[in-house]
Structure 1
Amino acid sequence: MSDCCSGGCSTQPPVDPRYRRALMFALIINSIMFVVELASGIKADSVSLLADAVDFLGDAGNYALSLYVLSMGLVWRSRAALFKGLTMGAYGVFVLGKAAWTLKSGTVPEAVTMSAIGALAFAANGAVAIMLYTFRSGDANMRSVWLCTRNDMIGNVAVILAAAGVFGTQSAWPDLLVAGVMGVLGLTAATAVIRQALTELASPTRQQSRELRR
């Protein structure tokens, strides 16, 4: 009965075991890549790698949260999506702030390390994306998971391009520009997820209001 009051008794389809396995796989991959990119970003003095490492950490937390609410009703899954949207937005703000802060230092990152780790991260996210592609058009929670993975792959390509730019110009500007783009992507995806989550959360409320008026 308490589940019905929280919106959990809506027509909830059975959880697809493939989706659960995909989330577990994504959680493991993102946790590993966070450690790899964090160490590499520090070693290479790369803001874009550090930004990507923070993104991997955030995604790992998001996948764990998605697994936790997977069998719950739409309201709880929408609440989880709202939380994830807020964390995605916080990530975007962090990246933009970090890029602005490091403008003063002028440190040139290691292009070889950037490109190698960027390629490894792209392969890791590509494997996750293949498993999640089928579920990209689901509810706000599923959509947020897909958007995270899609943005990660775009970010990985951007890191590789930044590495080429750093190598060619011997300056930090390509790295900082890519970090800025990644921050904007995080804010854009966060806006989309938050809007859909708020819409889904408002729907049960409107339904309950109509029932009370009858």
Structure 2
Amino acid sequence: MGKSCCQTPEPDTAAHNDPRWRRVLWIALIANAAMFVVEMITGIAADSRSLQADALDFFGDAANYAISLGVAGMALAWRAKAALIKAATMLAFGIWVIGYAIYGLIAGADPEPSTMGIVGTLALATNVIVALMLFRFREGDANMRSVWICSRNDAIGNIAVLGAALGVFGTGQAWPDLLVASIMAGLAFWGSIEVFGQARRELAHE
């Protein structure tokens, strides 16, 4: 069991250049770019740290999908290097979000739970659809796996945003929103470590 859990899967040399893979990436890129605009505007209007954090995550994912499209037909080493860049952006996102959550705790915040709930539901639906489309490509190389991890973390984060909306509504306080923003930062850290580790192993075997 330990071996099956920890062993690095052999990269699928054909899957990364699969037209279906490229098509799914284009759909994911457009959906994430659109949701970045929607969540950033509503997140600022609702004074929600978790919505704004999720908006930036959508922006980062759209950029990552663009990178994946750019290196899809290249050699494994280039795809692994692209995955390292994406791991670094995930780490930077996590650091920014945790810092912004701390700022909100100090400066104070007054998030609007109904807006959080409506937009969070829309974001969850978007990410679940994208994650389902990417599921078949989850065991590819580090570049492909990084895309799956981003989508998986996004869906988890959206569920957490909905929980934050309920928490803010039930308590009348901002701390559930700040807590969820911190959890999303943790997901970014975790995903960054996963992608970085696999990309380094692939580069080591080149």
Per the shorter chain, which TM-score range? over 0.9
- Equivalent positions of 1:134-149 (< 5 A) are 134-149=136-151
Secondary structure of 2:173's aligned partner: coil
Give aligned pairs, total.
195
Counterpart of 1:128 in structure 2 is 130
Contact 2:47 2:109 in 1 (8 A): yes
Which runs of no fewer than 5 residues in structure 1 stay unpaired? Answer: 1-9, 205-214
Counterpart of 2:59 in structure 1 is 57
- Aligned to 1:44, which of 40, 43, 46? 46
Counterpart of 1:98 in structure 2 is 100
Q: Which structure is larger by alpha-carbon Rg, 1 or 2?
A: 1
Counterpart of 1:66 in structure 2 is 68
Contact 1:12 1:73 in 2 (8 A): no
Instruction: Output the CA distance in 2 between the equivalents of 1:97 and 1:80.
Output: 26
RMSD: 1.3
Instruction: Output the CA distance in 1 between the equivalents of 2:126 and 2:97.
Output: 21
Contact 2:12 2:141 in 1 (8 A): no
Q: Output the amino acid matched with 1:116.
A: I
Q: Output the amino acid matched with 1:99.
A: A
Instruction: Output the CA distance in 1 between the equivalents of 2:67 and 2:28.
Output: 12
Deviations 1:87-131 (A, max 9, x none): 001001111000001112222200000000000000011111111
Matched, 1:110 2:95: no
Q: Output the amino acid matched with 2:18.
A: D
Structure 1 runs, 4 residues or longer, greater than 3 Å off:
none
Q: Percent identity?
A: 56
Which runs of no fewer than 5 residues in structure 2 stay unpaired? Answer: 1-10
Matched, 1:21 2:23: yes
Give the TM-score of the pair, scaled to structure 2.
0.92
Give the TM-score of the pair, scaled to structure 1.
0.89
Counterpart of 1:176 in structure 2 is 178
